[in-house]
Amino acid sequence: MNERETWATRTGFILAAVGSAVGLGNIWRFPFVTGEGGGAAFLLIYLLFVALIGFPAILAEFVIGRKTKLNPVGALMELGGNGWKYVGGIFIVTGFVILSFYSVVAGWFARYFLEGFRGSYASLLAGYDGGAPAMFGAVSTGLDAFIFHTIFMALTIGVVALGIRRGIELAVKVMVPAIVLLLIGMAVWAFTLPDAGAGYDYYLSPEFGVIADNWTELLPAAAGQAFFTLSLGMGVMVTYASYLGEDRNLAKDGTAIIGFDTGIAFLTGLVVFPVFFAAGITEPGDGGPGAIFISMTEAFATISGGHIIGLLFFGTVTIAALSSAISLLEVVTAYVIDEKGVDRWKAALGMGGVIYLLGVPVTYDLIFLDLLDGFADGILLVFGALMLVLLVGWIAPKFAVAELEKGIGSLGSLGDAWIWAIRVPILLVLVVTLTLGILDYVDFLTGPFADWIGENS
C-alpha cells in the first residue's frame, strides 16, 4: 500500500478543516433556517447546540481519525468491530446526499457571480419583473441551474482527483480572510440602514415563550444546522484528522474551527436580517433557500460600488463552497481508495458522477432540495453523530482520552468530564433530537411532498 499522505504544512489540517466547515452552511443555510425558525429563538438553540454538543462531538471525530489513520469506514471497524462497517456505509451515503444538492446551490452562487459581470445588480434586478425574488426564482431551477451544477461538480471532481495536498490549503488561506472582511464590511453598512433595528430585534432578542412553544421543531432544526455547518456526523473530520502526521492539540484546533465557523454564520445574520427589514420583508422565513440571494442582491443594488462588492461576495462564497464540497467528495473517495483499492482518479470521477446525477432533480424543482436536505440534516447527520458518540463514549473511551491527551498533556478529570458528557447527556439529547427529526421528516413526506407528487402526476 502507498504511504498515506499527510498535510504539507503544520497549518494544513486546520485550514482544510476550516475550509470544510465554512461554506454554504454558514452563508446560505444559516440565514434561511434561522428565518424559518423565527429568528432569535432559533439562534439561541443553535448556539447552545454548537457549544454543548458540537464541541465534544468534533473532538470525538478527531480522535477517531488520528488514532486509526483510516477513512471513516475503516476507522469504525477498527475500533468497534466488523458490524460498524454499516454505520460507516451510512456516512458514505450521507456524503452522497449532501453533495448532490450542495453542488446545485453552489452553482447558484457561481451564477450570481457571473451575472455580476453583466452590469450592476440594480440593472439586473430591473430585468426581472418582481425584483430580487423573481430573479432568484429564475436562477434557481431550469437549464441554468443544471449547467452551473454541472460546472461546479466538475470542478470538485477535478480538485479531489488531484489529491489532498495541492488543492485545498491554498484556496482556504485566501478565502477565509476574504469572507470575514467582506461580511464585516457589509454588516457595518447594514447597521446604517433604516429599520436595521427591527432586523436586530428579530435576530437577537429571543422570546422564551416562542422557544417553549416550538421546541419540538427548533431542536432538530438547530441540531441539523449545527452538524451541517461544522461538517460533523459523517466522518469528514475523521478523514481529515486521519492525515495528521504529528501530534496537535486537538482541543485547541477544535475551538478555532468552531469559533471561525460560528463567527461567520453569526456575521451573515448581521447582514441579512437588517437588509430584509430595510427592504420591507418582515417575514424573513418566507425567503426560504433564496434568502441570502434575495437580501444580498437587494443590498448590492443599492450601495455604490455594490457591483464590485457583489462580485467579490458571490465569488468568494463559491470558493468557500468548493472547499466544503471537496471535503464531502474526499470522504467518499478516500473510502473507495482505501477499502476497494481503486485509484484516486477513477474513484473521484465515478463517485462524483453518481452524486452529480442525484443532484439533477433539484435543478428541476426545489421540492427535491427539501427532500435531500431534510433527510441528510434532520436524520443522517444526527444519526451519524449519535453513533460516533456511542463509539467514543461507550465502546472505546480509554483510547479516546489517551489520544486526546497527545499534543495536550494530561487532562486529568477534564478527560473524564468529556467522556461522561458524551456518554449520557449528549447521547440522550441526540436520541431525542433524532426522534423529533424523523417525525418532522415523515410530516414532510406525507404533507408537502405527497402534495407535490399529487400535483405533478
Tell me which residues touch ligand PHE (CB under 6 A).
20-21, 23-26, 98, 228-229, 231, 234, 236, 324, 327-328
Shortest CB 329 distance to ligand PHE, Å: 10
> What's the closest the beta carbon of residue 311 comes to ligand PHE, in angstroms?
21
The C-alpha cell 426522534 sits at 435
C-beta of 109 vs 277, nearer to ligand PHE: 109
How many helices (H) and strands (E) would you count in the chain? 24, 0
Smallest separation, CB 227 to ligand PHE (Å): 7
Q: Helices marked H in 163-235 — which ranges?
A: 164-191, 196-204, 208-229
> DSSP of 238-255, one letter per residue?
HHHHHT--S---HHHHHH
Q: For the CB of residue 417, give the shortest distance to ligand PHE in the complex, in Å.
A: 27
Min dist. Cβ of residue 352 to ligand PHE (A): 15
Considering beta carbons, is residue 34 or 229 the nearer one to ligand PHE? 229
User: C-beta of 61: minimal distance to ligand PHE in Å?
Assistant: 11
Candidates 444, 16, 54, 430; CA nearest to 228 is 54
Residue 106 CB, nearest distance to ligand PHE (Å)? 9
| Dist. CA 457–CA 455, nearest whole Å | 6
Amino acid at site 83? G
CB-based contact 407:247 (threshold 8 Å): yes
* CA separation for the pair 413, 363 (Å, rounded): 51
Kindly tell me which of 319 and 419 has the beta carbon lying closer to ligand PHE: 319
For residues 151, 156, 157, 162, the Cα torsion angle rounded to the nearest 10 degrees is 130
| Shortest separation between residue 374's beta carbon and ligand PHE, angstroms | 14
Query: Which CB sits closer to ligand PHE, 228 or 368?
Result: 228
Quickly tell me which residue has 434557481 as its cell. 140
CB 73 within 8 A of CB 65: no
Rounded to a whole number, what is the distance in angstroms from the first to the last CA of the chain? Answer: 52
d(C-alpha 453, C-alpha 455), whole Å: 5
Judge whether 5 and 252 are in contact, CB under 8 Å.
Answer: no
Nearer to ligand PHE, 224 or 415 (CB): 224
Q: Which is nearer to ligand PHE, 18 or 211 (CB)?
A: 18
CB 387 within 8 A of CB 85: no
CA distance 34 to 31: 5
Round to whole Å and give the CA distance between 172 and 23.
11
Nearer to ligand PHE, 45 or 385 (CB): 385
User: Which residue from 8, 22, 11 is spatially nearest to 319, judged by alpha carbons?
Assistant: 22
Angle between helices 250-278 and 164-191 (to 10 degrees): 40
Q: Tell me, what DSSP letter sits at residue 2?
A: P
Q: What SS3 class is residue 17?
A: helix
Q: Which is nearer to ligand PHE, 21 or 153 (CB)?
A: 21
Q: Least distance (Å) from ligand PHE to the CB of residue 29?
A: 7
Least distance from ligand PHE to the Cβ atom of residue 105, Å:
9
Judged by beta carbon, residue 378 or residue 415, the one nearer ligand PHE is 378
Q: What is the dihedral of CA 323, 325, 326, 329, to 10 degrees?
A: 170
Pick the closer one to ligand PHE by CB: 278 or 385. 385
| Cα–Cα distance measured from residue 180 to residue 389, given in angstroms and rounded to the nearest whole number | 32
The residue of the chain with the least Cβ separation from ligand PHE equals: 25
Return the number of the residue (173 or 406) whose C-beta is nearest ligand PHE. 173
* Closer residue to ligand PHE in complex, CB, 94/278: 94
CB of 326 to ligand PHE, least distance (A): 9
CB of 440 to ligand PHE, least distance (A): 19
